[in-house]
């Protein structure tokens, strides 16, 4: 079942029942689902969904056209290789927060990548009040050169006034 997989990206204004209508439509059209991530970002609905659809890309697009128009959603489809269950496990979490500043994501991720961090997941949000926003970012990754290699970067970020914390992922299997 490695073939005929697509990454379906759907974005639009959030409203009740989007996922259900989308999923129903795809299911009736004969789709199987893989991994999915639905998030509301700044009040917008977003979903990225792995869809197995043997009838092909054009047919997939046709099958959700009506529901997308009805819900005013923008849809994007990419053919992909499916590798279910091949998500690498993170061994470290980096939490960073600080006064909102342009370039924080770029700056932090670039410096961490340079010392061997493969970033697997990244979430961020803007908290605090409008007058004094606080940028909060959480990165899960794999430290290719060991967690110690990341420590100087964390110390540097702290000197620059960011609240930066490094946690090893203490995975529990039981």
Residue whose token pair is 């792995």: 50
Nearest approach, Cβ of residue 128 and Zn ion (Å): 38
Nearer to another protein, 139 or 153 (CB): 139
Q: Which is nearer to another protein, 67 or 136 (CB)?
A: 136
DSSP sequence for 62-73:
HHHHHHHHHTTE
Residue nearer to another protein on the CB measure, 61 or 169: 169
- Based on the shown chain and the rule CB under 8 A, indicate whether residue 123 belongs to the binding site for another protein: yes
| Burial class of 150 by CB neighbour count within 10 A (0 to 12, 13 to 18, 19+) | buried
**Smallest distance, another protein to C-beta of residue 153, A:** 20
By CB under 5 A, the residues from 135 to 174 that bind Zn ion are 174
By the rule CB under 8 A, 169 interacts with another protein: yes
Nearest in space to 80 (alpha carbons), one of 50, 60, 56, 118: 50
SS3 145: coil
Give the separation between CA 32 and CA 51, rounded to whole angstroms: 6
When the beta carbons of 43 and 58 are compared against another protein, the nearer one is 43
What is the total residue count of the chain? 174
Token pair belonging to 100: 């909102």
Among 89, 102, 106, 131, binds another protein (CB under 8 A): 89
Contact footprint for another protein (CB under 8 A): 39, 85, 89-90, 95, 121, 123-125, 127, 134, 136, 138, 140, 169-174
């Amino acid at each position: 079942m490695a073939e005929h997989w697509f990454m379906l990206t759907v974005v639009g204004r959030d409203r009740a029942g989007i996922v259900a209508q989308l999923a129903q439509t795809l299911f009736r059209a004969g789709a199987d689902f893989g991994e999915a991530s639905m998030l509301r970002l700044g009040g917008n609905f977003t979903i990225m969904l792995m869809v197995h659809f043997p009838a092909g890309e054009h047919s997939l697009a046709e099958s959700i056209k009506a529901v997308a128009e009805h819900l005013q959603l923008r849809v994007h489809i990419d053919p992909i290789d499916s590798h279910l269950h091949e998500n690498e496990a993170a061994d470290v979490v980096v939490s960073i927060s600080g006064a909102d500043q342009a370039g924080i994501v770029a700056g932090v991720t670039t410096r961490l990548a340079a010392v061997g961090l493969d970033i697997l997941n990244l979430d961020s949000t803007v908290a605090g009040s409008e007058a004094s926003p606080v940028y909060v970012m959480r990165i899960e990754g794999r430290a290719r050169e060991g967690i110690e290699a990341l420590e100087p970067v964390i110390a540097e970020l702290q000197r620059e006034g960011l609240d930066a914390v490094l946690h090893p992922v203490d995975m529990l299997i039981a």
